[in-house]
Amino acid sequence: MPEPLDPEMFDPVCPSTLSPIRFGDKWAALIIRCLEQGPRRFSELRIPLRGVTAKVLTQSLRTLERDGLVTRTIHPEPIRRVDYELTPLGRSLLVPMAAACAWTAEHWDELIDAREAATPLSSTG
């Protein structure tokens, strides 16, 4: 059984949207990272992904399942439970995701500067 997910595992100051390299939808890479250490229940995923609604998390999980990256297992007894787990195909994304994270960390200042330069200052008045 994997350790509980850290509610602070995703730094709100470091948005996943900063990286120009995307894996699926906005939440897909974060979900994959949550499943890296083993199967998780929906309620466990909600802890570090507190910014996502239940509806959007469900949609993202369904998309990952449709794409063969995540499996959904229903355990009917004694109490119905559903687990989500990375497939071998999903696990194969961990290496390129780590490379994308390393690249983003290396180019953090440049990315911030580019975003700030492209964002018009809001005018007051």
Identify the pLDDT of residue 64. 96
| 81 close to 75: Cβ distance less than 8 angstroms | yes
pLDDT at 98 over 70: yes
d(CA 48, CA 100): 20
What confidence tens digit (pLDDT) does each residue in 112-121 have? Answer: 898 889 877 6
pLDDT at 13 over 60: no
Phi/psi for 56 (5° steps) reads -70, -40
Q: 16-113: which CATH number, 1.20.1110.10, 1.10.287.3510, 1.10.3210.10, 1.10.10.10?
A: 1.10.10.10
Indicate whether this model's pTM tops 0.75: yes
Of 4-8, 49-53, 85-89, minimum mean pLDDT range: 4-8
Phi/psi for 105 (5° steps) reads -60, -40
Domain residue spans in the chain?
A: 16-113
Highest mean pLDDT among 24-28, 39-43, 48-52: 39-43
Of 8-12, 22-26, 85-89, 114-118, minimum mean pLDDT range: 8-12
Strands 81-86 and 40-41: antiparallel
d(CA 9, CA 5): 7
pLDDT at 23 over 90: no
Residue 118 DSSP one-character state:
H
Identify the pLDDT of residue 83. 95
